[in-house]
Amino acid sequence: MMKSSNSGQRPLPHGEVGSTFQASRAVSFVVSSRFVREGAGFAVARPFPIAGLEQLDPFLLLDHMLPEQLSPGQAKGAPDHPHRGFETVTYLLAGEMEHRDSAGNSGSLRPGDVQWMTAGSGVIHSEMPSKALLRDGGVLHGFQLWVNLPASKKMMPPRYQDLKSEFIKEIESEDGLKRVRLIAGKFENHDSACITEIPIVYLHVRLLKNGVFEYQPEPDHTVLAYFFGGQTFLAASPRKEDSTLSKPSGISLKLNGTGAVVPTRTGGDSSLGSASLASASSPIWPVQAEELAVFEQSSLPVRIFNESDETLEFLFLVGKPIGEPVARYGPFVMNTRKEIEQAVLDFQSGKFVS
């Protein structure tokens, strides 16, 4: 375990103007997950892609495999399926999974493990529950992230990086209130063991009460936080009728538990319990589990503070936008429709099998 400072400003007494938020990168919008069945029928919470939010360049998809208590024989996975043109990142928190592919590669994932698969020119693989989980039942819980590749790397040779839990750096603040697992990229003075094709940061963050997370992204990078435990409040972009940052077209934002979240001012509303986080004139977003916060582009750092007694837990993602056209069809992500058609032909003719 590596130690660091619990970065960020001190918790503010109730009623004090919240300089923490005033110096923080604001949130553009928050999206509530849609609940769907994937693979052979396992449940996932999916904040994107959804109608009106097809991608968050360079990120293509985020699936949260919800923690289900599975009976013997109930566990399901994703049988043989192809990929081309991007990367899949599987991060497991509970349970066991096994993967195999058309080139004869195989491996297993246990709690805390990561598999970073670069599909590149094409691979057929399966992701299935382990024999033990299928036989005995148990809990399966984890995430899968899809990361796009630039045109110059879409046809690179496929590659696997199996990162066992013990080799993933974990950084704890000196006061014990913040713990960060460094899956990819850099955090503070630490580097991940993972090799990425484009600049990516992937962190798993846990904050106890009064814990503060701080990160300084590049101003033009995409910055996301997906929450799956606890709740908090984030600085919001001021609501303006002509603002392009309010929400993407077609997204319904939650109001009173029905879609995604709208900014709420602290004012005199004691039910928010967040007078210590922002001044009365500063809008904030309440966020909770299965919700994704998308931060605006800014030179300011991101600061996330946990004022609650409940542990706040989230994935923090930063990526440099690729800025290229995206053509996607199921498990294929290329730059043009013609390239998608070629991917389908190559798969049907057996070219994905080594």
Q: For 14-52, how does the pLDDT look when each residue is reduced to its tens digit (9 = 90+)?
A: 223 344 455 789 999 999 999 987 765 678 899 999 988
Distance of CA 277 to the CA centre of its chain: 24
pLDDT score at 272: 35
Q: What's the pLDDT at 154?
A: 97
CA atoms of 165 and 232, how far apart (whole Å):
28
Residue 349 burial (C-beta neighbours within 10 Å; 0-12, 13-18, 19+)? exposed
Whether 286 shows a pLDDT value over 50: the answer reads yes
Tokens 């991940």 label which residue? 192
Structure tokens at 124: 């057929």
The residues, ordered by sequence, that sit 6+ positions from 114 with a Cβ below 8 Å of its Cβ are: 89, 90, 91, 92, 161, 162, 163, 168, 183, 194
Per residue in 76-110, pLDDT (tens digit) is 778 889 999 999 999 999 999 998 887 778 889 99
User: pLDDT confidence of 69, banded at 50, 70, 90?
Assistant: confident
**What's residue 3's pLDDT?**
67
Say if CB 38 and CB 63 are below 8 A apart. Answer: yes
pLDDT at 10 over 50: no
- Whether pLDDT at 242 is above 60: no
* Other CB atoms within 10 A of residue 273 CB: 15
79: Cβ–Cβ under 8 A, 6 or more apart, which residues? 39, 40, 126, 128
The 3-state secondary structure of 240-274, one letter per residue: CCCCCCCCCCCCCCCCCCCCCECCEECCCCHHHCC
Distance CA 222, CA 31 (A): 15
Domains of the chain in start order, with CATH, are: 1-32+168-322 (2.60.120.10), 34-167+324-354 (2.60.120.10)
pLDDT tens string 316-350? 999 999 999 999 999 999 999 999 999 999 999 98
pLDDT for the residue numbered 315: 98
What is the rounded CA–CA span in Å between residue 182 and residue 195?
12
pLDDT confidence of residue 181:
98
As a whole number, the mean pLDDT across the chain is: 83
Tell me if 204 sits within 8 A of 248, measured CB to CB.
no
Tens digits of residue pLDDT in 167-225: 999 999 999 999 999 999 999 999 999 999 999 999 999 999 999 999 999 999 999 99
**Under a CB-based contact definition with an 8 Å cutoff, are residues 196 and 322 in contact?**
no
The answer to whether the CB of 104 falls within 8 A of the CB of 354 is yes
